[in-house]
Amino acid sequence: MAQEGAPAIQLIDEKGSFHEESLVEFCKAVKLSECGLSYAVVAIMGPQSSGKSTLLNHLFGTKFREMDALMGRNQTTKGVWLQRAEGIDPCTLVMDLEGTDGRERGEDDTAFEKQSALFSLAVADIVLINMWCHDIGREQASNKPLLKTVFQVMMRLFSPRKTTMLFVIRDKTKTPMEILEPILRDDVQKIWDEVQKPGKHKDTPLTEFFNVEVTALSNYEEKEEQFNEEIAELNQRFQNSVAPGGLAGDRRAVVPGSGFPFSAHEMWKVIKENKDLDLPAHKVMVATVRCEEIAHEKLQSLAKDEDWKKLEEASREGLVAGFGKKVSSILDKYTSEYDAEAGFFDEGVRVAKRNYLISEALEMIQPAYDSVISNHRTNALEKFKKELQAAAESDDQEFTSTVRQCSEKALASFDQACTDTSVSQAASTWNPSKAREKLVRDMNAHGQSLRTERLQQLKSNWQKRLEDAVGEPVSALLDSAPEDAWSSIRELVESETQKVTKGLATALAGFEPTREEEHAILTDVSKYSRTIVQKKAREETNQALIRMKDRFNNIFGHDEDSLPRVWGEDHDVRKITKSARVAALKMLGVIVALRLNPDAPEDNVEDALLTLVSDADDDGSTRDGSTTSNPLASSTWAGIAPEDTLLTPAQCRSLWRQFRAETEYTISQALAAQEAKRHGNNWLPPPWAIAAMLVLGFNELMAVLRNPIYLPIVFVGFLLAKAVWVQLDLQRHFQYGALPGLVSISTRFLPTVMETFNGLVAAGTAKPEEAAASSNSSRRASQAKLADEDD
């Protein structure tokens, strides 16, 4: 129904200014933008004071100013006025124009009249031509110049709009319409024919440009009742005027309601600049501007959209499930709003601006999309790392294939996430391939570094095994240093290395190494055996001096049966010393260098070292490389590579000096013991002294022997002395010479005598068996005591 509160506005004032703001307000008030194409514009032209405003007000319920009948025929409506028709559906806008032959403006103002005529033709779907009935068929009719103007300006619109020209004949006479109408149409046709037309429209018929309709009204002032009836009838023709078959059913180049204010203003501008009005171009221009405006409005709404804001925030923070679908539906919401609002504009423009809207919106959304994809990529990488860690921890056997499986799984889940994130509107432009490539690169790098780490670990594990298998036996061999120590070491090393490399080669299979890689690792591990042997040998050489002394003492201090040697007169200390030294040097010879190469020629280290012994024999001291032929004078060993050398000849010489100095005491001790032994055996006086004693003491001896009392006393004294002798074991005490023997005996003499007497007393009082037992036990006790003293 009719819209209240939309009063008439002045669209163009008498100075030719267009009031766009008023128009925008007006359009808002009548909700024109909601009408789309479903609205009509009606304009009226005709001579000044021909009752135009009166007609519009009666026909459409508008309130345009009318001339007061009492004030005379003066110009009332200045410029162009606009109001909405009451009670007409669809929305119909009515334009009241200043008269085209107004007396006030005079002849000079034709320009404004022409301009306003052109404007109403460009804008209106229906143009009412108000004319007096008596003007029909008249050569000097007042509407003739008007029609001429209309037809002339029409040509400037470039293309026909099929405007409906409704002739309203005022103050109709009794002459019936059937007679008047053909005359009028004939007049119109004549004017059309007379109008100068541009080349392309030379033969274009009037009907191409206009629908001509005719109606007649009675005199309003005289036959008001009749007038009103006719008006009511006419009003009906304006209902549904834009529907097919309606008054303006075949109009063309309609601008959608939302573009009307802009379009009207632009038209007026072009008309005022006196340019020709290219309607199709104008339509495209209006569509472009309006569609762009709508697109921007939608973009602004999108930026403020709560759902989108939430989604954007979530995308920054992590993974967003269903991102693609959510974004798509938000986008859909705004594109369909756009579609609804821009639906009636030029299709080409509309589609282009729709694409613009989508591309701008996508540009706004892309950072969030990128962030989600990047989050998915990070997530996939983390998952890959975790799974690989877990899988590889439990099993190294299939390392490379595990890496492959884990990376395939991570990629599949990433791809799935990308599909989930994919926004259908951007399917052709956004693609996660860069992120995917980066993910693949990162996974490869991680897999590679883990593989290197694992391989290193595997290598060191097997090196440790090799060390466990080889280290101890090598140490033992170097410790005992037999003649064939090195050949045994070589054999051991070779067999263990073989075992280890074989095992390692099997373990390596899971890593799918290249031929070169496998070779390098196996070579490294087999080379490691040398490091182990070198380490062990180094340990030995570090204590070479101790080892030499041990070896020396072992041989020097023990006899052939490995029993501790008791130095006797018949021991050749010099010879034993030499052989002990030779043994020590031979031992040294074993540890001075690594001899792991089975193909290396026999070296002369031992011979060179043994020269030290013979040198020492010659003059009791080493000659520190005084002769050039001395093999120990060199800084290297002949036949041994520098890297195999553990002790240089010079170091050996210095060791030898130290060794000799430190074993000196042991040898001198042995010599001293031997000397003491020699003296110990000569404790009886020499035979000549015994002979002299027998000769000189013969008398005394005989006197004693002959005396019957002395003899038993001497006998008992002898027995006692013998017992004490046995108890004391004098021979042992005098083993190290007379003086130490005497000192030793002096402390034991008295207790021994006492013990002997006690033994005798006990034997005398006990029974014969007990006596025998006690004598045995006392012997055992004394033996134990001796053993104690021995220690």
Ligand X SMILES: Nc1nc2c(ncn2[C@@H]2O[C@H](COP(=O)(O)OP(=O)(O)O)[C@@H](O)[C@H]2O)c(=O)[nH]1
Binding site for GTP: residue ranges?
46-53
| Two tokens, residue 347 | 């299709």
Least distance to Mg ion, CB of residue 51, Å: 8
Q: How far is the C-alpha of 468 from the C-alpha of 503, rounded, in Å?
A: 15
Q: How far is the C-alpha of 315 from the C-alpha of 332, rounded, in Å?
A: 20
Least distance to Mg ion, CB of residue 84, Å: 18
| Two tokens, residue 192 | 């059309």
Nearest to 172, CA basis, from 136, 141, 197: 136
Residue corresponding to tokens 């099993």: 395
The option from ligand X, Mg ion, none interacting with 422 (CB < 5 to 8 A, set by class) reads none
Least distance to Mg ion, CB of residue 53, Å: 3
Q: How far is the C-alpha of 545 from the C-alpha of 584, rounded, in Å?
A: 9
Q: Which residues are annotated as a binding site?
A: 46-53
From candidates 10, 12, 23, 50, binder to ligand X by CB under 6 A: 50
Least distance to Mg ion, CB of residue 251, Å: 25
Minimum CB distance to Mg ion smaller for 97 or for 521: 97
Residue 12: strand pairing partners: 18, 80
232: CB partners within 8 A, 6+ apart: none
Minimum CB distance to Mg ion smaller for 54 or for 407: 54
Nearest to 492, CA basis, from 522, 521, 529, 518: 529
Minimum CB distance to ligand X smaller for 53 or for 752: 53
| Two tokens, residue 485 | 């120590």
In terms of Cβ atoms closer than 10 Å to its own Cβ (0-12, 13-18, 19+), residue 164 is buried
Quick check: 101 binds ligand X (CB under 6 A)? no
Piece in contact with Mg ion (CB under 5 A), picked from 74-82, 125-133, 242-250, 498-506: 74-82
Q: How far is the C-alpha of 680 from the C-alpha of 740, rounded, in Å?
A: 11
Least distance to ligand X, CB of residue 77, Å: 6
In terms of Cβ atoms closer than 10 Å to its own Cβ (0-12, 13-18, 19+), residue 289 is middle
The option from Mg ion, ligand X, none interacting with 323 (CB < 5 to 8 A, set by class) reads none
Minimum CB distance to ligand X smaller for 73 or for 383: 73
Quick check: 51 binds ligand X (CB under 6 A)? yes
Pairing type for strands 40-45 and 92-97 reads parallel
Piece in contact with ligand X (CB under 6 A), picked from 61-69, 177-185, 192-200, 529-537: 61-69
Minimum CB distance to ligand X smaller for 233 or for 484: 233
Piece in contact with ligand X (CB under 6 A), picked from 62-70, 357-365, 570-578, 635-643: 62-70
Least distance to ligand X, CB of residue 96, Å: 7
What is the four-CA torsion angle of 684, 686, 692, 697, rounded to 10 degrees? Answer: 0
The option from Mg ion, ligand X, none interacting with 402 (CB < 5 to 8 A, set by class) reads none
Piece in contact with Mg ion (CB under 5 A), picked from 46-54, 409-417, 428-436, 463-471: 46-54
Quick check: 52 binds ligand X (CB under 6 A)? yes
Determine the size of the site formed for Mg ion (CB under 5 A): 4
In terms of Cβ atoms closer than 10 Å to its own Cβ (0-12, 13-18, 19+), residue 306 is exposed
CA distances to 117, 149, 196, 248 from 153, in Å: 8, 6, 11, 20
3-class DSSP assignment, residue 518: helix
Residue, CB closest to Mg ion:
53
Residue corresponding to tokens 């083993």: 735
Least distance to ligand X, CB of residue 207, Å: 28
Query: What does the per-residue mask of binding to ligand X show for 216-245, with x meaning CB under 6 A?
Result: ---xxx------------------------
Answer yes or no: are the C-beta atoms of 255 and 33 closer than 8 Å: no
Quick check: 54 binds ligand X (CB under 6 A)? yes
Minimum CB distance to Mg ion smaller for 112 or for 334: 112
Least distance to Mg ion, CB of residue 76, Å: 5
Q: How far is the C-alpha of 274 from the C-alpha of 688, rounded, in Å?
A: 175
Least distance to ligand X, CB of residue 171, Å: 5
| Two tokens, residue 502 | 């074989």
- Ramachandran sector of residue 61 (left: φ over 0; alpha: ψ -120 to 50; beta: rest): left
3-class DSSP assignment, residue 619: helix
From candidates 7, 28, 34, 69, binder to ligand X by CB under 6 A: 69
397: CB partners within 8 A, 6+ apart: 507, 509, 510
Piece in contact with ligand X (CB under 6 A), picked from 32-40, 46-54, 115-123, 318-326: 46-54
Residue 645: strand pairing partners: 593
From candidates 50, 53, 263, 497, binder to Mg ion by CB under 5 A: 53
Minimum CB distance to ligand X smaller for 75 or for 604: 75
Residue corresponding to tokens 């070169």: 516
From candidates 33, 48, 149, 258, binder to ligand X by CB under 6 A: 48
What is the 3 state secondary structure string of 543-602?
A: CHHHHHHHHHHHHHHECCCCCECCCCCCCCHHHHHHHHHHHHHHHHHHHCECCCCCCCCC
Q: How is residue 66 annotated by DSSP?
A: -
Report the first-to-last Cα separation within the chain, whole angstroms.
139
Answer yes or no: are the C-beta atoms of 532 and 471 closer than 8 Å: yes
Least distance to ligand X, CB of residue 238, Å: 19
Residue corresponding to tokens 């008054």: 247
Q: How is residue 639 annotated by DSSP?
A: T
Least distance to Mg ion, CB of residue 104, Å: 13
Minimum CB distance to Mg ion smaller for 52 or for 170: 52
From candidates 18, 33, 40, 53, binder to ligand X by CB under 6 A: 53
Quick check: 66 binds ligand X (CB under 6 A)? yes
Nearest to 191, CA basis, from 242, 251, 146: 146
Residue, CB closest to ligand X:
51
Diameter of the chain measured on Cα atoms: 221
Least distance to ligand X, CB of residue 184, Å: 18
Quick check: 170 binds ligand X (CB under 6 A)? yes
Minimum CB distance to ligand X smaller for 44 or for 608: 44
The option from ligand X, Mg ion, none interacting with 54 (CB < 5 to 8 A, set by class) reads ligand X
The option from ligand X, Mg ion, none interacting with 160 (CB < 5 to 8 A, set by class) reads none
Determine the size of the site formed for ligand X (CB under 6 A): 18
Least distance to Mg ion, CB of residue 105, Å: 14
Query: What does the per-residue mask of binding to ligand X show for 412-441, with x meaning CB under 6 A?
Result: ------------------------------
Give the Cβ contact number of residue 338 at 10 Å.
21
Minimum CB distance to Mg ion smaller for 68 or for 306: 68
Piece in contact with ligand X (CB under 6 A), picked from 49-57, 116-124, 179-187, 474-482: 49-57
Minimum CB distance to ligand X smaller for 216 or for 555: 216
The option from ligand X, Mg ion, none interacting with 335 (CB < 5 to 8 A, set by class) reads none
Answer yes or no: are the C-beta atoms of 431 and 415 closer than 8 Å: no
Quick check: 77 binds Mg ion (CB under 5 A)? yes
Minimum CB distance to ligand X smaller for 48 or for 425: 48
Binding site for ligand X (CB under 6 A): 48-54, 66-67, 69, 76-77, 99, 170-171, 219-221
Binding site for Mg ion (CB under 5 A): 52-53, 76-77
